[in-house]
């Protein structure tokens, strides 16, 4: 499974986002990671549907939307209308199986996300309903945090279980991804790398994205 890169706009300068999206497209990135935060499930507020709709108008990149919100089942249909991949947290208070099914029924690829406190074995029963699983390698809610190495063991366990169940599953990792941690994550089984601050803080963002992609 080829490694994909999903740059996160959480740390981007939104006044320059349209121009930066073109640079990311030129760099061959595979999707765009959008963190939706409600200030309840995580202690921060980011953006919602209006911003995602605007972004969608100005990029050809598939949108990888990550809901960090309480009881996400309430908003699945609305977010599916603007997403290509739609993910929510296992810990967020929704019926996991039914929410994953609803995402697929609304034409999106489904993603289940786990926080650092959650063990991968807890979500093994739901893997057949997932197109992707996102392992958080930082505490969700803020960009620019350091990579938690315990995420590597979770990636290994999920990759092994996906193979045991004969599933073609994307494994995404989000938090602290850079030139040092990206190869470790890929070796552990990750196939999608979310990189935010490392790309958007670079003087040459296109070159930085290409470097991560080449790893």
At residue 187 the predicted structure's pLDDT band, cuts being 50, 70 and 90, is very high
Q: Beta strand pairing status for 192-195 and 4-7? A: parallel
Here the CATH number for the domain that contains residue 149 is 3.20.20.70
Integer Cα distance of 152 and 154 in angstroms: 5
Count: domains in the chain: 1
Q: Beta strand pairing status for 32-37 and 63-68? A: parallel
Q: What is the DSSP letter of 8?
A: B
Q: Where are the beta strands (DSSP E) in the chain?
A: 4-7, 32-37, 63-68, 85-89, 109-114, 132-136, 170-174, 192-195
Q: Exactly one of 64, 95, 174, 204 is catalytic; name it.
A: 174
- Indicate whether 200 pLDDT > 80: yes
- Quickly list DSSP for 116-162: TTS-GGGGGGGGGG-SEEEEESS-TT-SSPPP-THHHHHHHHHHHHH
Q: Exactly one of 13, 30, 35, 95 is catalytic; name it.
A: 35
At residue 145 the predicted structure's pLDDT band, cuts being 50, 70 and 90, is confident
Q: What is the pLDDT of residue 128?
A: 98
- The token pair at 96 is 């996991």
At residue 65 the predicted structure's pLDDT band, cuts being 50, 70 and 90, is very high
Q: What is the pLDDT of residue 86?
A: 98
35 lies in which domain range? 4-214
- Indicate whether 175 pLDDT > 80: yes
Q: Beta strand pairing status for 63-68 and 85-89? A: parallel
- Indicate whether 143 pLDDT > 80: no
Structure confidence by residue, pLDDT tens digits, 89-141 = 999 999 999 999 999 999 999 999 999 999 999 999 999 999 999 999 999 88
Q: Is 174 a catalytic residue?
A: yes
Q: What is the pLDDT of residue 141?
A: 80
What is the reported pTM?
Answer: 0.95
């Amino acid at each position: 499974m080829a490694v994909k890169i999903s740059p996160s706009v959480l740390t981007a300068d939104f006044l320059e986002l349209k121009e930066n999206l073109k640079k990311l497209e030129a760099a061959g990135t595979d999707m765009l990671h959008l963190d939706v935060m409600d200030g309840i499930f995580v202690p921060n507020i980011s953006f919602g549907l209006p911003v995602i709709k605007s972004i969608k108008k100005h990029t050809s990149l598939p949108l990888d939307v990550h809901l960090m919100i309480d009881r996400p089942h309430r908003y699945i249909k609305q977010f599916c209308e603007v997403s290509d991949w739609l993910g929510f947290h296992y810990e967020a208070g929704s019926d996991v199986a039914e929410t994953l099914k609803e995402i697929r029924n609304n034409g999106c690829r489904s993603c289940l996300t786990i926080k650092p406190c959650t063990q991968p074995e807890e979500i093994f029963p739901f893997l057949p309903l997932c197109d992707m699983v996102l392992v958080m390698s930082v505490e969700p809610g803020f960009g620019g945090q350091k990579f938690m190495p315990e995420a590597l063991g979770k990636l290994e366990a999920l990759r092994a279980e996906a193979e045991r169940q004969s599933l073609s599953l994307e494994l995404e990792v989000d938090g602290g991804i850079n030139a040092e941690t990206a190869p470790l994550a890929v070796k552990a089984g990750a196939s999608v790398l979310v990189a935010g601050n490392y790309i958007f803080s670079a003087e040459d963002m296109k070159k930085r994205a290409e470097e991560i992609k080449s790893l």
